[in-house]
Amino acid sequence: MTKNGSANPSRKMRRRGSIDVVDAKVAVDLATAQTYSENVFLFVPNLIGYTRVILAGLSLHFMSYHPKYCTLAYVISCLLDAVDGQVARALGQTSKFGAVLDMVTDRCTTSCLLCYLSSTYPNFALVFQFLIALDFASHYMHMYSSLVTGSRSHKLVTSEVSRILWYYYNDSRTLFFMCAGNELFFVSLYLMNWVQTPIGLGVYFPWLKDLTWPELVAIPSAFVCVGKNIINLVQLWKASKILVGVDLAERAHAREVQAKKE
């Protein structure tokens, strides 16, 4: 403790013990020499991840001219995101490669759709660009802050760090609802450009006579999208504070080492 009663930053310079550092060259050699029976690339959840990538690629291929095929491939790819993690835990095949593959697929798939929406709704291009930047920045900084603090997974967030992120990552139903609702909003925006036929609510509500079913879906899912991006902002801010805290602890430790040398 310091004189004012606060924790000494240099005292925080310790590894949590949850990660053992492996030399990069050793890791490459291990990956090259892995056997068929223990090939992480061929783990079932990772095969599901590759399927997600293929489906995402198909959705991008059909995006500009076949909305039904595009939506089907995109939705299945997103739904498989809820399956691979459960399969990994059930088969004892959790892996860092799988976790990163899952996150990268999520980020790239959503970003590609937002790029298309930017061209479809040019007046809102800046909004879509902001959402892409926020999504990438918050997840990258969160992942990096998890690594430098010795966490095995970016989802292992304690309530002491952030109650919002703890509830978001540790409750599977909340995580699925927020992610699914967010994607549903973007898919609805995509389909709004293709579906022009009203669903007939004008019979009961005259002011809704021109409402299409994608617009109907977009209205409630928009609130989920807003909530999801608020969480992204919280994640970005908390990760920034963690990285700054690590910097302060390292600098304090370096000063102590220098003082002992002198």
Q: What is the pLDDT of residue 155?
A: 87
Q: Which residue did the predictor score with more confidence, 37 or 207?
A: 207
The candidate with the shortest Cα–Cα distance to 13, out of 176, 259, 247, is: 247
Does residue 66 register a pLDDT over 70?
yes
Q: What is the enclosing helix (H) or strand (E) of 27?
A: helix 24-33
Question: CA-CA distance, 21 to 90, in Å (whole number)?
Answer: 26
In the structure encoding, which two tokens stand for residue 255, read together? 């000063």
In the structure encoding, which two tokens stand for residue 111, read together? 């970003």
In the structure encoding, which two tokens stand for residue 106, read together? 């999520």
The candidate with the shortest Cα–Cα distance to 103, out of 52, 27, 66, is: 52
Q: Are 174 and 165 in contact (CB under 8 A)?
A: no
% residues pLDDT > 90 (the chain)? 73
Q: What is the pLDDT of residue 20?
A: 60
Give the pLDDT band of residue 36 (cuts 50, 70, 90).
low
Does residue 2 register a pLDDT over 80?
no
Sign of the CA dihedral 228, 231, 237, 240? negative
pLDDT tens for each residue of 6-35: 555 444 444 444 446 678 888 888 888 887
Q: Region 98-108: what's the mean pLDDT?
A: 94
- Which of the residue ranges 53-62, 128-137, 201-210, 221-230 would you say has the lowest mean pLDDT? 201-210
The residues, any chain, with a CB within 8 Å of residue 240's CB and separated by 6 or more, are: 141
Q: What is the pLDDT of residue 21?
A: 66
The candidate with the shortest Cα–Cα distance to 43, out of 88, 100, 96, is: 88
Q: What is the pLDDT of residue 10?
A: 45
Active site members = 106
The helix/strand/coil state of 181 is helix
DSSP annotation of 200 reads S
Q: What is the pLDDT of residue 101?
A: 94
